Amino acid sequence: MKRENLTEKLLDIKRERDWTWTYITEQIGGLSPVLVVGALLGQMRLPKALAETAGTLFGLSVIEQRMLTEVPMRGMPMPPTDPLLYRFYEMVMVNGPAWKALIEEEFGDGIMSAIDFDLNIERLPNAKGDRVQMTMSGKFLPYKYYGNEQGVPENGIKEE
């Protein structure tokens, strides 16, 4: 079985049992819902104990449970064709340079981690149509300056 086949099996079971992602993530627990759903969709991995819990919930074989613990091949072709995913791509393409400039001005020369990272999604009621609020928090990782001489900073953390 390939990982894509397991993802399809999980989605079929979800549909058959009329489960929501909220229900599934509450039953599995242990991690952010974004990480649990990401693992079930084949983009993340589950720790062994959570893979066993998911296996019990979905009635998976031992081999299928082990597949949930393997590091996956992540990502997708770019740009994405799904309209919702494309809007995120568009947000980065249009606003990314400004986000980069503002982060660098505040923190220095580096990146925001997508590994040491939290993401929360909330629904905000609004009379003109409910809004999606996403809050991202990633560790700042300064670039390391190799071969720096004395008096030259070791990394890109903003100098005061």
Q: What is the pLDDT of residues 90-114, one digit of tens each?
A: 999 999 999 999 999 999 999 999 9
Dist. CA 118–CA 109, nearest whole Å: 21
61 catalytically annotated: no
113 catalytically annotated: yes
4 and 67 Cβ atoms separated by less than 8 Å? no
Active-site residue, selected from the candidate residues 26, 113, 137, 154: 113
- 110-139 pLDDT, tens digit per residue, is 999 999 999 999 999 999 999 999 999 999
Q: Is the pLDDT of residue 156 over 90?
A: no
The model's pTM is 0.83
137 catalytically annotated: no
* Segments of the chain assigned to CATH 3.30.1160.10: 83-142
Residue listed under structure tokens 């923190």: 107
Dist. CA 64–CA 60, nearest whole Å: 6
49 and 66 Cβ atoms separated by less than 8 Å? no
Q: pLDDT band at residue 59, thresholds of 50, 70 and 90?
A: very high
What number of CA atoms fall less than 13 Å from residue 37's CA on the CB side?
A: 14
Question: How deeply is 135 buried, as exposed, middle or buried, from its count of CB atoms within 10 A (0-12, 13-18, 19+)?
Answer: exposed
DSSP output for 120-136: EEEEE--TTS-EEEEEE
Active-site residue, selected from the candidate residues 8, 87, 137, 154: 87
Fold classified for 83-142: Cyanate Lyase; Chain: A, domain 2 (3.30.1160)
Fold classified for 3-69: 434 Repressor (Amino-terminal Domain) (1.10.260)
Active-site residue, selected from the candidate residues 4, 26, 90, 154: 90
* Segments of the chain assigned to CATH 1.10.260.40: 3-69
